[in-house]
Amino acid sequence: MKNLIISSISAVSLMFGASAYAASTVTVSGSTSVTGVMEVLAEKYQAAQADAVEVQGTGSGAGIRAANDGTSMIGMSSRAVADDELKAGVKQFTMAMDGIAVAVNNANGVQDLTAEQVKKIYMGEITNWSEVGGANMPIVAVTREVGSGTRGAFEDIMGLIRKINGQKVTAISPRAQVQSGNGAIKTLVANNPAAIGYISLGSVDESLRTVKVDGAPATKEAIRAGEYGVARPFVLMVQEDTAAEAQRFIDFIMGEEGAQIIESEGYIDVQ
Amino acid sequence: MSDVVTVNHAPTAKQSGQVVKALEASANRVDWANHLFKYLFMLSAFIGVFSVGLIGYFLIKEGMPALSYAGVTNFVFGMEWVPPVLFGIAPMIVASLISALGAVVIGVPVALLTAIFLAEVAPKRVADVVRPAVELLAGIPSVVYGFFGLVIIVPMVEKVFNIPAGNTLMAAIIVLAVMILPTVIAISETALRAVPRSYKEGSLALGASPMFTIFKVLLPAARSGILAGVVLGIARAIGETMAIIMVMGNSPAMPRHLLDSARSLTANIAMEMAYATGLHSSALYTTGIVLLVFVMVLNATLLYLNREKAR
């Protein structure tokens, strides 16, 4: 009997303990591209105070839905969100900018491409490097898989979109090689002198070389100045009457410390 | 001996009554261990059947929306894969079939000769080195095969055929040919060893050479077992995913020749599953249904071959 009382007390306290814990958990979901930097932000935030942060990478579309439905306190998107995509009472912030770098092999002599040339390469209309001022060798275009946020942003920005039956679909040539993940694209481009690929600016390293697009280099400065065109915003969406802990987390992200973390992760702080 | 006979007198009525009682008692006692194991075996058997049923049901349920949206004909014979509007997987069916058949064309002769070597030709000490090596080949994870293909086979294909990108059907065929070796070798060797010794002895006694015996007597006799090995090899090649993703380039367009990049059915599912939603996601399950049908056809072939063997 005594045991029963003790165990039921501890069970009840466990229940209340858990609900108290859940009340101070900030839920964040959406774009898988934003998830990486968001997890670092969450880790630093949790180390500094008591609230917990739960981050889920579900995709930009799901992030917008989550913010509208309130299934997550904060939604993440790696593309610009139109006002009519959001319900009344849902506001959005741009927490950072992410550049998409167009990259070629270190042995490739081409330094500068126009946005139009990049578009035509991916549509399969330009197929030899000599057509864009390079050596006489076929172009091996490498793209991300359908559905990837980076591919979606690249298609949107470059206008690589056509319409079939009234629906917007990709205009990237089906002959382009497909790799899943920034890492796989980097490996392929770094090992193939004829390859061209696009990756998140944060993942660029010396294994490959970025090309200028319309004369602007793929650098943070050029993106901040609005010169480099192949860039996208990381957007956070939150309901105006959201919980106080979600607002505190957003203040942290938009503050000094958040900006430093965003910069150190290779993205461009916009404040 | 005679002592035993004198001691061993006929049982009295009382004694035989006790024996009957003991027998009845043991007959009436429920043998729980026996029952327990019987049902344990049955349960285990049903877990496998249940899983197959559940996976099949799940695939069809999730794949139906895309199948009814596109129609079977458009889905299976469609040439364009542009989710979420066009779901044609003909290029991927072709890529899966060509890569598997190519692997068989290159891999099976090598595997068959290895099996003959192990079963008939090799001295025991050599066979004891070769066999574990082949078995080890079966244990290498497919991602390692993919990596090997990416750093060795792909650049080699680029050099040999002088093409800009070696991520092609050809590279996939070479990697798959190596991957099916252990399956085909192991089953063919078992089939060759199962041929009755009298066949071989009879052939040799008639004055046939060892090679004549191998090719004209042993191989025909082991035919159905070897074919079963080949079918399992094809199934392995069709089902391979990771290694293929790494070496085949994954373009969803119809390959024009062996030096074109292509995407297999398995790669299509694995590559796009992470981000797919709605109809697109459903179309990936439908791709799974097509794969399941392929595997069912292969297994039916295997059953047919085994039936031939039993006869």
Q: What is the pLDDT of residues A12-40, one digit of tens each?
A: 555 554 444 445 899 999 987 788 889 99
Continuous H helices in chain A: 2-23, 32-48, 60-69, 115-123, 149-158, 182-191, 220-224, 244-254, 256-264
Cβ of A137 within 8 Å of Cβ of B80? The answer is no
Cα dist from B115 to A191, B13, B112, B129, B217, whole Å = 38, 68, 5, 14, 15
Domain-embedded: residue B259: yes
Locus of tokens 């439908």: B286
Give the torsion sign (CA, B138, B144, B148, B149).
positive
Number of domains in chain B: 1
pLDDT by residue, tens only, chain B of 311 residues: 444 444 455 667 677 778 888 778 777 777 888 889 999 999 999 999 999 999 999 999 999 999 999 899 999 999 999 988 889 999 999 999 999 999 999 999 999 999 999 999 999 999 999 999 999 998 999 999 999 999 999 999 999 999 999 999 999 999 999 999 999 999 999 999 999 999 999 999 999 999 999 999 999 999 989 999 999 999 999 999 999 999 999 999 999 999 999 999 999 999 988 878 788 999 999 999 999 999 899 889 888 877 765 55
3-state helix, strand, coil in chain B (%, to 5): 80, 0, 20
Q: What per-residue confidence (pLDDT) applies to A22?
A: 46
Q: Which residues of A touch B84 (CB under 8 A)?
A: 167, 169
Cβ of B261 within 8 Å of Cβ of A61? The answer is no
The Cα–Cα gap between A147 and B272 comes to 7
Name the residue range of residue B182's domain: 76-310
The Cα–Cα gap between B244 and B172 comes to 6
ipTM rounded to 2 decimals: 0.76
Nearest CA in chain A to B167: A177
Q: What per-residue confidence (pLDDT) applies to B31?
A: 81
Between chain A and chain B, the number of residue pairs with CB atoms below 8 A apart is 79
* Cβ atoms < 10 Å from Cβ of A13: 10
Within its chain, how far is the Cα of B260 from the centroid?
27
Nearest CA in chain A to B80: A174
CB A31 within 8 A of CB A98: no
Q: Which helix (H) or strand (E) segment is A76 a member of?
A: strand A74-77
Q: Report the pLDDT averaged over residues A204-233.
A: 89
Question: Phi then psi for A57, rounded to 5 degrees?
Answer: -90, 105
Q: What per-residue confidence (pLDDT) applies to B23?
A: 79
* Torsion angle defined by CA atoms of residues A180, A182, A188 and A190, in that order, rounded to the nearest 10 degrees: 180
Name the average pLDDT for chain A.
Answer: 86
Smallest CA–CA distance, residue B251 to chain A, in Å, is 5
The Cα–Cα gap between A59 and A65 comes to 10
pTM exceeds 0.90? no
Q: What per-residue confidence (pLDDT) applies to A186?
A: 92
| Confidence at A4, pLDDT banded by 50, 70, 90 | low
Q: Report the pLDDT averaged over residues A154-165.
A: 87
A90-104 vs A209-210, strand pairing mode: antiparallel
The domain spans of chain A are 2-96+233-269, 99-231
Q: Report the pLDDT averaged over residues A141-158.
A: 87
The Cα–Cα gap between B70 and B90 comes to 13
Per CATH, which fold does A99-231 belong to? Answer: D-Maltodextrin-Binding Protein; domain 2 (3.40.190)
Cβ of B84 within 8 Å of Cβ of A167? The answer is yes
CB A174 within 8 A of CB B80: yes
Instruction: Lowest mean pLDDT of A150-159, A250-259, B15-24, name the range.
Output: B15-24
B223-239 and B90-116 helices cross at what angle (nearest 10)?
140
The Cα–Cα gap between B151 and A155 comes to 30
Residues of A with CB under 8 A from a CB of B: 32, 59, 61-62, 137-140, 145-149, 164-165, 167, 169-170, 173-180, 187-188, 191-192, 194-195
Q: Report the pLDDT averaged over residues A91-95.
A: 90
The Cα–Cα gap between A25 and B90 comes to 48
Cβ of A147 within 8 Å of Cβ of B272? The answer is yes
Architecture of domain A2-96+233-269: 3-Layer(aba) Sandwich (3.40)
Six-digit token string for A132:
């864009």
**If you compute the radius of gyration of chain B from its CA atoms, what whole number of angstroms results?**
28
Nearest CA in chain A to B86: A164
Closest in A145, A167, A177 to B167, CB measured? A177
CATH number of the domain encompassing residue B115: 1.10.3720.10
pLDDT digits (tens, 9 = 90+) for A122-146: 999 999 999 999 999 999 999 999 8
Q: What per-residue confidence (pLDDT) applies to A157?
A: 86
CB B176 within 8 A of CB B149: no
Closest in A32, A61, A170 to B82, CB measured? A170
Cα dist from A38 to A31, A78, B103, whole Å = 10, 12, 45
Locus of tokens 């364009």: B80
| Confidence at A200, pLDDT banded by 50, 70, 90 | confident
Burial (CB count <10 Å: 0-12, 13-18, 19+), residue B164: middle
Domain-embedded: residue B142: yes
Q: What per-residue confidence (pLDDT) applies to A17?
A: 47
Cβ of A147 within 8 Å of Cβ of B85? The answer is no
Mutate to test the interface with A, among B271, B273, B282 (most CBs of A within 10 A): B271
* Torsion angle defined by CA atoms of residues A263, A97, B274 and B78, in that order, rounded to the nearest 10 degrees: -150
Task: Decide: helix, strand or coil at residue A210.
Answer: strand
Instruction: Lowest mean pLDDT of A45-59, A170-184, B214-228, B296-310, name the range.
Output: B296-310
